Structure 1
């Protein structure tokens, strides 16, 4: 149903999802007169969930029946019934259909298609894995208790194969969703509510990831005036905190994000929630806590207050052991695998320019201890002596890190190696010796550490890595503050799964390198 509301707001164009605007020197701002065309909210969440349901079903039918046919052939093989003669013969075709239905139900009960987990982060994938293991565990228990002897090979193959296919299918959908979100579609339309400073901060954080599914369309601040803008952004102010209902209608927002409550009247957040349409409009509380991973955040209701507990970073012996074992296994296996490449690169460096094959440099590592980092030599031997004369010619890096896109000290072979990060391969021996990790913060030089602010020293709570959040996040295109933020976020929110994600992104970045002036 479409209704017309006369208010201090904009008129929505019938050809566009965006409100009509007037142009001023400040940019596009809402007009203050005219009727509002209040539309039905975009049901993209429901459409996307239905598509996921359909492709999940196709994937599971293919996996389960494909496994059955591969294991038994096309014959009507019957489930073995041991002792309970009350149970009639049930063919595997029926059992497979029941398994598919149960698997679909498990995915639904685990909220794997919920809009809160789709499109970003690992929760969607981990929920699929947990639901699948829970289902097969339940099948095994039921089969044992009912003394029905289901072929173990059938189940053992179906489980991992099904998980892999489901995750691949969801990953393909995520790439499609990312493309849509980059085009401004399939995203929550967010109205920010709070102080000007908190609104601006949250808006900047959301803008860092345009693929996360949150598109800010307006803001309401305590002293807001229509036709104004949030400082440093192009986000229009739609009025004060008493104008939220009208602002939702004007912007067609489906999500209200409260960024701060200090300047809001008592019970205002509850009143906002009462005014939202159930199931179609959503309320989000966005406290000014950044770079904190989900596992560290816990909500505990106490006397009606939703207290947010943020755990301090924990570095247990078990975590350290798991990371070290992973480093050792992958680095040793990788070293054996790439040994021909290492030998070929060593010969190229040796015969292409005078000097040693390996470049040894003192870096600062875990807990601030010095170590010698290994790299294939990619520069002339007197590169350090030439550095002072190049300081004014830097065209990359940042205020702490010296970088040049076309550094004259780099040899022709070194230029190719640096483009694909091949010069860093000898660091695999640093990993084996224990001075580095496969994934971690960037190993800094002593002169860089000398100018660190106090909080930056938290980077040394983890071993430096061959790759890391900084390397896959933009490398020399990042500012110093952004580099530090990524490394500290990694250190404080470390997880083994996160390491594997960074390694995968590193492989992709190596194939299509960017920002690699190092």
Structure 2
């Protein structure tokens, strides 16, 4: 039977091969082969031959090098263990879009458009992106299956108070696809002595761990410094997993600000390229939907005008992105009345303020249709946390923790809370707390696919709700 040290050596070599070599060595080479193959296939489709002209060979080599350089600069060849397939493919799409812009710009400014087939360039980029994406998705899927079954594990040594270590260990088990395993545990009871620190270092060395995770609450900062200094001669990767206790974090991450490492506790994921993508989503879908609902809106406007005196539209100030106030539009569903200054009374069941068609409009959410104009204005999004009346914001922000963090993004016509049944009157504080929890989950997990899912769910279950009065 092989010795314990030999087994650790085999395990470590397995980790190195399955984790470091594929992204850093195999995929740059594979990307080059994929671009070359795609160029040959595109040339065959365009010119009925695979014997490339010299200028196409030069273009193909440049495209292959651009792919490798761009992927390297964006970190696409780094270790994938904790990366989601969606983030890998999103980054890859961005790389290919940039390369497409660079290639077409070079051809245009070099006045070489008559020397290169635009169809060939387009097909080469399309085929290479599809093949590169498929290869990454298959490898990621295969590695995850292997890790879930116990292979390609990365041993981790946990250090920290018992409760913190247990919490992190449970997270490791729930994310088994990442392939982390516990090589050892050191439970701390208060600040460790120098003797205990040295014993921890010895245990880590003999455990065969590839990483050390220091799992401590924020108030144990001095312990982190002592552990880090004690492990200064160790080659294991060291990670700090701080415990934020009951703090409600929003898209937390690390960043660099003014040359300093920062832990972002509450930031929006809809920024940079994501912000442009979401705005494009709103413009495209908002324009299409606005044209489709125009006849319905006209019919509703006529009915409101005929059945009740007063304006067709109801306008009210609401808080938008970053708390900026804007005017929201709705079809008027109530009789014209005067509220007390600084108060907004929520609609209730059998509310006598409702117009003859108001209850139907609110129950079916048809009163919200004019908000697509707010979307096209850029003040709202199709999907996002529903905007509340300013008076409600002032009331609930002191009662519900993290309530105002809903305003990290643009408010929406529909949202994750609404398609999960949290619509209408919030007569109990618990209902608003649940709505806020769903809103913050949406912000923390935003993606285009989640938006499309919510829109799809809204079409089939969100328009009619028994709780909407």
Given the alignment of the two structures, is residue 74 of structure 1 paired with residue 49 of structure 2, yes or no? Answer: yes
Please give the root-mean-square deviation of Cα atoms over the aligned residues, in Å. Answer: 6.0
CA contact (8 A) 2:214 2:241 kept: yes
Is the aligned partner of 1:274 residue 2:250?
Answer: no
Q: Does 1:327 align with 2:276?
A: no
The C-alpha deviation readout for 1:435-482, integer Å capped at 9, x for no partner, is 64123224458879844426312323543224556679x887x99878
Q: How far, CA to CA, are the matches of 1:144 and 1:371 in structure 2?
A: 46
Corresponding residue to 1:45 among 19, 35, 58: 19
CA contact (8 A) 1:223 1:240 kept: no
Tell me, yes or no, if structure 1 residue 137 matches structure 2 residue 102. yes
Distance (whole Å) between structure 1 residues aligned to residue 283 and residue 138 of structure 2:
32
Q: Secondary structure at the match of 2:11?
A: coil
Partner of 1:92: 56
Cα separation, 2, equivalents of 1:248 and 1:291: 36
Distance 1:184 1:318, change over 3 A: closer
**Residue of structure 2 aligned with 1:438, choices 379, 382, 390:** 382
Secondary structure of 2:410 counterpart: coil
Match of 1:64 in 2: 39
- Distance, in Å, in 2 between the alignment partners of 1:200 and 1:213 is 18
**Cα displacement (A) at 1:37:** 6.8
1:459 — aligned with what? 406
1:50-199 aligned within 5 A:
52=27, 56=31, 59-74=34-49, 76=51, 78=53, 90=54, 92=56, 96=60, 99-100=63-64, 103-104=67-68, 106-108=70-72, 110-116=74-80, 118-119=83-84, 122=87, 125-126=90-91, 129-130=94-95, 133=98, 137=102, 151=116, 153=118, 154-159=120-125, 162-163=128-129, 165-177=131-143, 188-196=154-162, 198-199=164-165
Which residue number in structure 1 is paired with residue 221 of structure 2? 262
How far apart in 2 are the matches of 1:166 and 1:433? 38
Matched with 2:250 is: 291
Shift of 1:203: 5.5
Aligned-residue offset at 1:331: 0.6
SS in 2 for 1:221: strand
Give TM-score, length-normalised by structure 1: 0.54
Give deviations 1:13-33, integer Å, cap 9, x for gaps: x9xxxxxxxxxxxxxxxxxxx
* Aligned position for 2:425: none
Task: Tell me the distance in 2 between the aligned counterparts of 1:307 and 1:38.
Answer: 34
Partner of 2:309: none
* Cα distance change on mapping 1:441 and 1:165 into 2, 3 Å: farther
Distance, in Å, in 2 between the alignment partners of 1:181 and 1:361 is 55
Q: Deviations over 1:265-302 (max 9, x none)?
A: 755214435323xxxx53223345743455x721666x
Task: Give the conservation status (yes or no) of the 8 Å contact 2:406–2:439.
Answer: yes
The structural deviation recorded for 1:74 is 0.9
**Structure 1 gap ranges (5+):** 6-13, 15-35, 79-89, 225-238, 348-359, 376-382, 388-410
Going from structure 1 to structure 2, the CA distance change for 1:480 and 1:64 (only over 3 Å counts) comes to farther
Give the paired residue count.
398
Cα distance per residue 1:189-217 (max 9 Å; x no partner): 4433334465466567x469727726463
Provide the C-alpha distance between the structure 2 equivalents of 1:57 and 1:311, rounded to a whole number of angstroms.
40
Distance 1:511 1:178 in 2: 34
Alignment partner of 2:448: what SS?
helix
* Contact 1:3–1:38 (Cα < 8 Å) also in 2: no
| Structure 2 Cα separation of the partners of residues 316 and 129 of structure 1 | 15
Counting helix residues as a fraction of each chain, which structure ranks higher?
A: 2
Return the alpha-carbon distance in structure 1 between the equivalents of residues 392 and 123 of structure 2: 55
**TM-score w.r.t. length of structure 2:** 0.58
How far apart, CA to CA, are the structure 2 residues paired with 1:103 and 1:317? 22
Distance 1:488 1:220, change over 3 A: same
Alpha-carbon distance in 1 for matches of 2:282, 2:243: 35
How far apart, CA to CA, are the structure 2 residues paired with 1:148 and 1:221? Answer: 67
The secondary structure found in structure 2 opposite 1:115 is: coil
Q: Secondary structure in 2 aligned to 1:460?
A: helix
Query: Which position in structure 1 is the counterpart of 2:448?
Result: 500
User: 1:11: which partner in 2?
Assistant: none
How much has 1:45 moved relative to structure 2?
A: 1.0
How many Å separate the matches in 1 of 2:436 and 2:147?
Answer: 28
Question: 1:308 matched to which residue of 2?
Answer: 262
Q: Give the direction of change, closer, same or farther, for the CA distance of 1:460–1:268 in structure 2 (3 Å limit).
A: closer
Corresponding residue number in structure 2 for 1:30: none
* Counterpart Cα distance in 2 of 1:185 and 1:426: 55
